[in-house]
Amino acid sequence: MCRPASAGWWQKALTRGDRVIGISRSEDALLDLRQRFPQQLCIIAMDLKDQSSVRAAVDQAFAATDRIDILVSNAGYGLIGAAEEASDVQVREIVDTNLIGSITLIQAVLPHLRSQRGGRILQVSSEGGQIAYPGFSLYNATKWGIEGFVESVAQEAAPFGIEFTLVEPGPTRTGLGGNLARTIPLAAYEGTPADQTREALRGSWVIKGDPSRMTDAMIVLADREGPLPKRLVLGAGAYTGVRKALGGRVDELDRQKDVAVSADFTDEKLARL
């Protein structure tokens, strides 16, 4: 079951003979694929921001087949602009979609996967789940949020044979960039890092990510034997950026070791408590 940004994943899975239950905002989505693969493709309508709709769609999906082995959760969109510029509505909508929607989907799927004693969940996050760009603070908040959620749930679900991987693509040539929501710029931010990111998106940002190659990598991952990795980083830029960010955090942590250790009770004090 999947909800990708494009039909690429769906078509590749169908072409190789898989059965796909796709979740979309409309039951009329992907009519061409439904005509080509009438026995393999089923579309279920769902409003990701309506938690009852999410749960009903998941129940319907599992009722339509004996077993679902792989869930690909790829709902989300981006919001560009400084945090101060974002309206209350914009904050709520991106959190409802990217974070709460993804959490609800996983919550709804887990009882079914427990019942069948296993399954794999590929939660599409972003390089923005480990690094952050100025101008993408709210998008980063949702991606860092879903990463923390999945890190915890993966440990909870492991005894039932349920595996998770966080898929972290870098900038990719999909429709995401053209569908970015935008804040109303404040003059105070002109020329600042948030504004520079906004300007780069207007033309100078070279996007190297190939969505077809990324879906190929995800399919290979879903098929592999043995435990899944916790994360799959996709794209050379994402690899470089994530590695640099992780190294910087480790270096900063090591510089604070003495302070961290000093915050505990001493052994002598613990013995007297």
Question: If you average pLDDT over residues 56-73, what whole number do you get?
Answer: 94
User: Are 83 and 95 contained in the same domain?
Assistant: yes
138 in a structural domain: yes
Tell whether 127 and 197 lie within a shared domain.
yes
Instruction: Report pLDDT for 173.
Output: 66
143 included as an active-site residue? yes
Q: Among residues 149, 95, 98, 91, which one has the least CA distance to residue 121? A: 149
Please report which confidence band the pLDDT of residue 2 belongs to, taking 50, 70 and 90 as the band edges.
very low
Cα(129)–Cα(145) distance, rounded to whole angstroms? Answer: 8
Mean pLDDT over all residues of the chain?
A: 90
Q: For residue 1, tell me if it sits in a domain.
A: no
In a domain? residue 111: yes
The whole-angstrom separation of Cα 155 and Cα 270 is 30
How many independent structural domains does the chain possess?
Answer: 2
Q: So what's the pLDDT on residue 116?
A: 96
Query: Annotated catalytic, 125?
Result: yes
Catalytic residue among 73, 102, 133, 139: 139
Has residue 271 been placed in a domain?
A: yes
**86 part of a folded domain:** yes
Find the domain containing 273 and state its range: 238-273
259 and 161 in a common domain: no
Residue in 95, 86, 78, 266 with CA at minimum distance from that of residue 184: 86
Q: For residue 4, name the pLDDT band (cuts at 50, 70, 90).
A: very low
Q: Do 90 and 191 lie in a common domain?
A: yes
- Whether residues 127 and 215 share a domain: the answer is yes
> Does some domain include residue 2?
no
257 plus 190 within the same structural domain:
no
Given the residues 73, 102, 133, 143, the one annotated as active site: 143
Contact (Cβ atoms closer than 8 angstroms) between residue 231 and residue 127: no
Do residue 262 and residue 182 come from a single domain?
no
User: Residues 226, 95: one domain?
Assistant: yes
pLDDT of residue 12 exceeding 90: no
Q: Identity (one letter) of the amino acid at 33?
A: L
139 is catalytic: yes
Per-residue pLDDT band at 223 (split at 50, 70, 90): very high
Answer whether residue 191 is part of any domain: yes
Q: How far apart are CA 2 and CA 235, in angstroms?
A: 21
68 and 202 co-located in one domain: yes
Range in 52-61, 209-218, 246-255 the model is least confident about: 209-218
> Does residue 28 carry a pLDDT above 80?
no
Inform me whether the pLDDT recorded for 199 exceeds 80. Answer: yes
- What CATH code is carried by the domain that includes residue 182? 3.40.50.720
Return the CA Rg of the chain: 21
For the segment 177-202, the average pLDDT, to the nearest whole number, is 89
Q: Look at residues 238, 248, 259, 1 and name the one whose alpha carbon lies nearest to residue 119.
A: 1
pLDDT in tens, 81-105: 999 999 999 999 999 999 999 999 9
Mean pLDDT of 31-56: 90
Pair 179, 55 in one domain: yes
Instruction: Confirm whether 213 is domain-assigned.
Output: yes
Residues 148 and 63 in one domain: yes
Q: Give pLDDT, residue 176.
A: 55
What is the SS3 assignment for the chain? Answer: CECCCCCHHHHHHHHCCCCEEEEECCCCCCHHHHHHCCCCEEEEECCCCCHHHHHHHHHHHHHCCCCCCEEEECCCCCEECCHHHCCHHHHHHHHHHHHHHHHHHHHHHHHHHHHCCCEEEEEECCHHHCCCCCCCHHHHHHHHHHHHHHHHHHHHHHHHCEEEEEEEECCECCCCHHHCEECCCCHHHCCCHHHHHHHHHHHHCCCCECHHHHHHHHHHHHHCCCCCCCEEEECHHHHHHHHHHHHHHHHHHHHCHHHHHHCCCCHHHHHHC
Residues 37 and 165 in one domain: yes
Question: Tell me, what's the pLDDT at 205?
Answer: 66
Instruction: Point out the catalytic residue in the list 102, 125, 126, 133.
Output: 125
